[in-house]
A and B are shown apart, each in its own frame.
Chain A
Amino acid sequence: MLTVKDLAVNYGAIQAVKGVSFEVHRGEIVTLIGANGAGKSTLLKTISGLMRPKAGQITYLERPLDRLSAPQIVRAGISQVPEGRHIFPGLSVQENLQMGAFGQRDRAVFNETLQTVYDYFPILKKRRTQDAATLSGGEQQMLAMGRALMAHPQLMLLDEPSMGLAPIFIQEIFTIIQAINQAGTTVLLIEQNARQALKIADRGYVLASGQVKLSGSGAALLANPDVQRAYLGG
């Protein structure tokens, strides 16, 4: 579904991604794990069109992505849940979700999707008229995910969804990611919480200093002694 080939991206003067290749197949949960500064977020921003590659290709459903703008990429079916959530403060919860469906003109489809999102996250329905800035961190993460779902993505990119959340929310977020995946959305997940991510992932890639160091099934990476030592705390 998504193929990234020999991708190199500069972040200012630094080469943050140095020739990374990986694939995501339809229906999978794929995770990229790695320490801070491994180039994970840069990679995701490049897929979403916020940053431009210096070299290499990104193809999505046989189409090259690297010439499209961020809004065009959303319309092509890829939604990103950005690191740090980035909900819109000053807009209500429902308005935030409405912005997620910015390209959607059909009222009926919009209402149906909104209902689906509220089914995943009942708390958002309860808070729909509240200013999004008043939500707790976990609720904001749910709003960011709900907002991304509003665009009907085929492929959802999640950048550190568990960052800064209480353990109870982390569990819930990961359960919902699995539910979203089961409902037919392919997921590319970036996590520092490697153990949780590998548990739910079909496949994983380990990134370090802008390069893929290891890849394999989620279970295989979990069992790999090198991964355990470096990313799973022993």
Chain B
Amino acid sequence: MQTFGQQLVNGLSLGSIYALLALGYTMVYGIIKLINFAHGDIYMLGAFWGYYSLRAFHFNFLMALCSAMVVCAVLGVVIEYFAYRPLRHSPRITALITAIGVSFLLENGMSALVGANARSFPQALPVVTYHWLGIRVSNIQLLILITACLLMALLELIIKRTKMGKAMRAVSVDPEAAQLVGINLNHTISFTFALGSAMAGAAGVLIGLYYNSIDPLMGMTPGIKAFVAAVIGGIGSVPGASLGGFIIGILETGVQAVGLSAYKDAVVYFVLIVILLVMPAGIFGHNRREKV
């Protein structure tokens, strides 16, 4: 029971990171039907921004987090503008391959720029560990969980209540009709990239704090796992992405806890295969009938 509780806490912390990342995948897919494979690298850039802002500019944690979100939002918009927008009317596979190319560019670009070696993330906050019913919870874990939940609540609010959020939903269900009511497609898509990338930037800073180690290739595996999380939750669904993220996080720590650490990645992909077989649209996805 104690182990179970402990793993649940660990899983929720890791899961929040995946959830934040999965939101970006799902929103971008929802609006332009593109799997943005460079999304994990935005998260890496967020972590590096956090690293430099804490070390060189002596930002405090909150400033590092917020500035990383802003920087990543801008990067996301720039990437969409230069890499994806010119391909808006190309076949989907073209944009997909471009996304993989952008991902390689960011990974290798950063390796060339700062070196490929891992570096330790500055401890912005002193670590305090609480003991509760035999479960160890660090303040960092709580911080990750709370920050992630606040950001998800904020995102939900933006999507549900604001005009831009409603425009995002309108564009994602019917881009043509959205233009006919005067919604600017490009602005809405940029806005979506900004939101998703900001979430990834926040996740990058949080993971730096949690794992203490960052490197230019750190976005690859979490990026793919967050993508799996988005698929499990139902790609295009915002609550689905959050839930999927937590499921993947708990699953991964759970597998490690029972002594199958070597299989932790394999299990995630196994679950993906099972989900695709039994409910291809994911947990919150719905199969939309094609209208003729």
Contact = CB atoms under 8 A, between A and B. Distances in A.
Interface of A: 48-50, 69-71, 74-75, 79-80, 82, 84, 86-91, 95, 98-100, 102-103, 147-148, 150-151
B24 to A, nearest CB: 20
B109 to A, nearest CB: 34
Contacts of A69: 179, 184
A71 B177 contact: no
B174 A86 contact: yes
A71 B182 contact: yes
A151 B181 CA distance: 7
Majority SS at the chain A contact face: loop
Interface of B: 163, 166-167, 169-170, 173-174, 176-184, 291
Nearest to B187: A71
Contacts of A88: 169-170, 173-174, 177-178
19 contacts: A50-B179, A69-B179, A69-B184, A70-B180, A70-B182, A74-B182, A79-B180, A88-B170, A88-B177, A91-B166, A91-B169, A98-B166, A99-B166, A99-B170, A99-B183, A102-B163, A102-B167, A148-B180, A150-B181
A151 B170 contact: no
B170 A71 contact: no
Contacts of B177: 82, 86-88
Contacts, number: 65
Given A86-B174, A88-B173, A89-B173, A74 B180 contact: yes
Given A91-B166, A98-B163, A50 B180 contact: yes
Contacts of B184: 69, 71
Given A82-B176, A88-B173, A88-B174, A71 B183 contact: yes
A48 B179 CA distance: 9
B182 A102 contact: yes
B167 A99 contact: yes
Nearest to B291: A84
Contacts of A84: 291
B170 to A, nearest CB: 5
B166 to A, nearest CB: 5
Contacts of B179: 49-50, 69-71
Contacts of B182: 70-71, 74-75, 102-103, 151
